[in-house]
Amino acid sequence: MDEIIIRGGRPLAGTTLVSGAKNAALPILFASILSPERCRLENVPKVADCRTARHLLERIGVELVELEEAGSAVVLRTPTILSYEAPYELVKTMRASFLALGPLLARFGAARVATPGGCAIGSRPVDLHLEGMARMGADVRHSHGYVEASAPSRGESPARLRGTRIALPFPSVGATENLMLAASLAIGTTVIENAAREPEIVDLAEVLSEMGAHVGGAGSSVIEVHGRDELGGFCHRVIPDRIEAGTFLIAAAATGGDVTVRGARSEHLGSLLEALSGAGVDLETEGDAIRVRASRGLRGIDVATAPFPGFPTDLQAQLMAFLCRAEGESVITETIFENRFMHVQELVRLGADIRVDGSKATVRGVPSLEGAEVMATDLRASVCLVVAALGAANTTRLQRVYHLDRGYEHLEEKLTALGADLRRVRGPAATFAHTFGDESGDGAGSSGASNGSVEGGEPPVLHAGARGDGSAS
Ligand code: EPZ
């Protein structure tokens, strides 16, 4: 199993460029199922989750070509499909595979998609996706761990979903996306109330509009999708990854560094910039560049995660790593996922003083952290340990780093270019998760893709009794 060895204590310095957003690329890749025409997506990050999406799309029958010469672009075409199914082996590897449901149902009238189980960060049901599809007329059944759904047929071939009004009890990102995808080919207009407002939703709306669906209100709480009988292709560039950008800003601050993050959109990072500046970090924004400097004393702050534009749950762990050494007390409240403090015990191993009480973590700043062996449990928890280790004294060995590969493109290279001292040690065997499809990060399993279960790499090895890897157990 790979490890990353980090020698901390060096302030990061220099400039780094943000990659495309994984969480924007994934729903857009699935949008390609909606059209028989050519769909071109640029700035797709080279991360394991996007490779898993590619495998699933190919399984369904999407023709997919990666254009290496154009950087990270892919061209997709779906004249027809080979299968209505998103199998468990891929859904357990990546939870976002559930986004195949809406497009398959809308265009081909049927879908069979494995139900994602719980995951490292919470139980994460998909009830809101399914209730929304049912409101659009779908017949939704559960059978042997799969959701089998079909669109109502009134003489149309294939059967079609029907637009309707759907009020989400919680602004779920995935449910909003799945329903937008489905609504784009439904008969009539769908109104999604209490929709998620994340930038990734706006990016998906742009693509669906380019394909011919009329999407209004994306970025607000009410989204209106006027469905079309057919959709065309698209040519789109994925937005920059706000979570990656935020991670670098926090890492720079945690090491007392001076880093400019280029390609970032400050309007996507408002709550983080406010939090960092409240903690005493100097920030300057100019165009798509954000410069962060943390030379003076830093102080604790209170932060609660919330749907956009609130503080993102995907930056909670990284911010906690930073606050471990800020003077005074910080209280972090996690409101989105019920189990997203798995990194706390690992931070404590590095010398942090953190107490968890339900959804609240109280962090008392300590003067320094000390390197140790720690274990990643999900995507953002792993990168939080990297952030902590970069600011810690001595050497940290981070295990189960396959979680990182799900969502960070060239992380080690980018950090090394900023002066960090870290290296990956390749292990001889694949992971527990590889064998069992461990759930993590985006809820889904991690490493399958990064370690080869999907990529056809190393052979699986069972680490008996392995635990704390973010698996659902
Ligand atoms: C997306 O997950 C992101 N994943 C997550 O990023 C992110 O943490 C999350 O949104 C919140 O911002 C992708 O975009 C691929 P939700 P998603 O539906 O769509 C509950 C990362 O690290 N809920 O907004 O699954 C759910 O249990 C990952 O990159 C229901 O109860 O998030 C959770 O508590 C991790 N029923 C809350 O809503 C449902 O049907 C938010 O989930 C759906 C969700």
Write the DSSP string, 254-278: HTT-EEEEES--GGGSHHHHHHHHH
Question: Which is the closest atom of ligand 1 to the Cα of 131?
Answer: 40
If you take atom 3 of ligand 1, which residue's CA is the nearest one? Answer: 442
pLDDT of residue 121: 85
Q: How far apart are CA 24 and CA 399, in angstroms?
A: 28
Alpha helices by DSSP H, listed for 286-410, are: 316-323, 344-349, 379-390, 402-405
Pocket of ligand 1 (CB under 6 A): 23, 26, 96, 122, 124-129, 170, 172-175, 313-314, 336-337, 379-380, 407, 441-443
The phi-psi region of residue 409 (left if phi > 0; otherwise alpha if psi is between -120 and 50; otherwise beta) is beta
Burial 143-168 (b: 16+ CB within 10 A, else e): eeebbbbbbeeeeeeebbbbbbebeb
pLDDT lower than 50: segments of the chain: 430-473
Question: Which is the closest atom of ligand 1 to the Cα of 122?
Answer: 27
Query: For the chain, what is the total number of helices (H) and then of strands (E)?
Result: 16, 26
pLDDT of residue 71: 59
Catalytic residue among 39, 119, 324, 384: 119
Prediction pTM value: 0.92
Amino acid identity of 249? L
Question: Which is the closest atom of ligand 1 to the Cα of 129?
Answer: 40
pLDDT of residue 466: 31
**Is 50 marked active-site?**
no
Ligand 1 centroid from CA 175, angstroms? 8
pLDDT of residue 296: 75
